[in-house]
Structure 1
């Protein structure tokens, strides 16, 4: 009778087999090391991939320093048989991710086992592999969120912004929560024609829970299963299988986010309720029902719509928080921006007819995007073919990261990059040079922060429109100042950031008040 093999022995055998396979890959890589881009020294097998195993704000700064030390804007990290190519310059990112997008648009799904398989986010448009389903989803998203098509949804942004102003007036101390409701409410309304509840909205709660989980899941090195996918077969009770329990907890919220708003839309439609123009309605009437495979297209569309909701919440929210932080820390910039808004809008609130008429606000939005970028490193691309760039070989399967932080802190493009200065994007204009306009010679951060190539953020036009109308409206009616302690002393925020997969300011307090009684009345009249 064959000897019994226990679970521990079986598991150990699987791990050894996987390590041997990785080691063979490592030895193969080692024979051609001189052909690769330069990189920091590493150790056998684990290589130098530990460069990323540190707080994100240190990792991307160290990557940039490493690039300068190597006198190269392209650096290679490696370990566990994996190549990671870091692009430190805008030009390198354009050359590879834009101009060679046909072979640089895949995602390293094999290193996203926790996200795609265990948590159940394989439908997430942003992280799907570069296959036909992703292409079909991309067509859907770009169809609904192109620059021209999205303009029909601008009234929703105005409506939700006015709700935000009312919330700020009623309970300014909860400004962070109010911003969260704004972002979630905009997407719910535009995608599903669902109006978010003022309190305890179940759709917003599910999205917020997943967004918090994403900060952990997507941070490099958090879960060993992303390096050793075979661990996904470990039973939940097995020692060290806490990741399986985490996944089970998050998976319910994932399914709620995917199914519940879409099901609610269909219930309203089937009961003949009035449904306003929204993405779900447009896709159902013009794409799904006319498809040769409506069941497949319905699944693709449902995932794409949930991805729009998931992808836009935490990222846009972080920029709003940064804006308020900067206004508190830089009252001179706040007052200058308010003067420019007043000059155009006078005693009314801004609207999209004012776009382009307030260059200082345009510059302020750009600087908010640049100064502390939401994503310091872009979502990883995967190269699908061996190819040569300059004098280097970039092998098939390489993970490619654009160092967004480095590009936006390039001193040649943005002098004194750590300083918050909207005027870097302006140039004098007018007969006497007393006016200002956007300087087209200074690179617009939107060319960087929204990604590159075929993986560029499809919701970028919505995100920018939302930022512009919200920031301009807040400047029009509110003052942002430091909070006071019990003794009446002003307390400035620390200005510190949490640097995870998504970077955002640490919670802070401030005082938010209407600029005058007339401004308070303007807000009150909006609510009636």
Structure 2
């Protein structure tokens, strides 16, 4: 094994040296022709400032530099140029008003061909696959939101509460599976895929992240010959397995549709019905068209797992650490819902619950770096030249901590959305706060690359979060020997591009024996319609 490692290192050295030489020459050229420049940390030849960045919490260093250099600054890492933004207005000016120039996606080295498609629409450059998939997903998501996802979320929340009641210690895994079940049901009516869906989403995000494979930061290693390249071999197997799973699910759903056995409240049904309306009554397609469609539905299914599971787990953490807000939200739920579970119909009447959810995403950003944009053409902004290929990061962690917009930013303060006088307060409270509009919408990205999932995040976070508070008290865990509260790091995460907190101690107890009985009965009422 040691010999193989040494051989890999020796094979990597020439490419590393060539890359370093190219980057040094590029640095010399840019230094010689430098004019007006954005501020930023001092850059070093070849490496830039990569040595300063902890790839497991890079957003904290970007926030630190923003405090020093201002709301827009430059840096670089191993030859790649970055512009870091921590001001909403600047991000809007660059990524929205000039969005036609900044809607590209940078290459994620540990993935194959993601910029050209058809696998991951959120990671593609703007081309025909991207346009067609995004148009279809946008229409499908909006249509399903008009029907509040046909009650799928409410029925799965009943199961979620039941498994939490039976085995609360596994709440971390159950939360991810819960989100995976909802998306798999909506995609092709197969909730049994919930755990596999969650695990696949987590693995995919790992491959996408700077905290993942070392080739994402040391790119020359990617070009080691295939026979000795563990990163390429792993990714080829992972992607092939994922594509096969998506294609099989697509083909099973197609046969169920033809057998009149596929529910109308699935995205697969909507897709097949659309084909027939276009004249394809038998649903015969080429292999390429099937791959395109299965990836479109598969990724739509996949992307809604961790993007909701992580924030929902952070919400459980926030309620555990802030019992006064937990009590306020529970009192509001009791007043409005009484002995029945909250539903989407209760959204206008539960502003405190919505404020607690909204503040969770500000306090512990699900995407703290922001999803990167890439400049597609040479441009100039505020007298500064921005070259094609520059990566723009609107750093969510820093934006959510601008004190003028979010006073007392390090603390969990849901009242900022509920009390007049706070900069983020909006009326009417029957509508605000929410995840779809108003202040703080930068969580979902910018311009032409805005996430299409705000609607399902709004519904799923609300029904799941309110349901947990309706059924349970969330308390700090205490040591069984000493009785002392067990402390934990509330910023400890898996460090992926979309975060989940690491498992943390939480004592989840039903609010009363009567409420426990209600949880079991509500699950029993829908159990037959769930594929458990």
* TM tier relative to shorter chain: 0.7 to 0.9
List aligned pairs for 1:36-435, cutoff 5 A.
Answer: 36-51=37-52, 53-57=53-57, 59-70=58-69, 72-109=70-107, 112-117=108-113, 123-146=119-142, 149-196=145-192, 201=193, 204-205=195-196, 207-215=198-206, 217-219=208-210, 222-224=213-215, 228=219, 231-232=222-223, 234-236=225-227, 238=228, 241-287=229-275, 290=278, 295=286, 298-427=290-419
Match of 1:25 in 2: 26
Of the three residues 486, 495, 510, the one matched with 1:500 is 495
Question: Structure 1's 428 and 34: CA in aligned 2 closer, same or farther, altered over 3 A?
Answer: closer
Query: What is the SS of the residue equivalent to 1:83?
Result: strand
Contact 1:381-1:401 within 8 A present in 2 as well: yes
Question: Structure 1's 266 and 301: CA in aligned 2 closer, same or farther, altered over 3 A?
Answer: same
Structure 1: segments with no counterpart, 5+ residues: 1-5, 430-434
Match of 1:510 in 2: 506
Query: What is the SS of the residue equivalent to 1:410?
Result: coil
Report the TM-score, using the length of structure 1 for normalisation: 0.86
In structure 1, distance between residues paired with 2:34 and 2:117: 35
Contact 2:115-2:123 within 8 A present in 1 as well: no
CA offset at residue 132 of structure 1?
A: 1.6
In structure 2, distance between residues paired with 1:281 and 1:505: 35
CA offset at residue 178 of structure 1?
A: 1.7
Contact 1:356-1:362 within 8 A present in 2 as well: no
Count residues in correspondence. 505
Question: Structure 1's 88 and 480: CA in aligned 2 closer, same or farther, altered over 3 A?
Answer: same
Contact 1:364-1:422 within 8 A present in 2 as well: yes
In structure 1, distance between residues paired with 2:469 and 2:399: 29
Structure 2: segments with no counterpart, 5+ residues: 1-6, 422-426, 526-532
In structure 1, distance between residues paired with 2:428 and 2:457: 25
Query: What is the SS of the residue equivalent to 2:509?
Result: strand
1:479 aligns with 2:473: yes
Query: What is the SS of the residue equivalent to 2:477?
Result: strand
Contact 1:37-1:76 within 8 A present in 2 as well: yes
Match of 2:442 in 1: 448
Which digits, 9 at most, give the CA deviation of each residue in 1:441-460, with x for residues without a partner? 99956511111111111111
| Alignment RMSD | 3.3
Report the TM-score, using the length of structure 2 for normalisation: 0.85
Question: Structure 1's 129 and 289: CA in aligned 2 closer, same or farther, altered over 3 A?
Answer: farther
Question: Structure 1's 122 and 40: CA in aligned 2 closer, same or farther, altered over 3 A?
Answer: farther
Question: Structure 1's 322 and 96: CA in aligned 2 closer, same or farther, altered over 3 A?
Answer: same
In structure 2, distance between residues paired with 1:487 and 1:348: 38
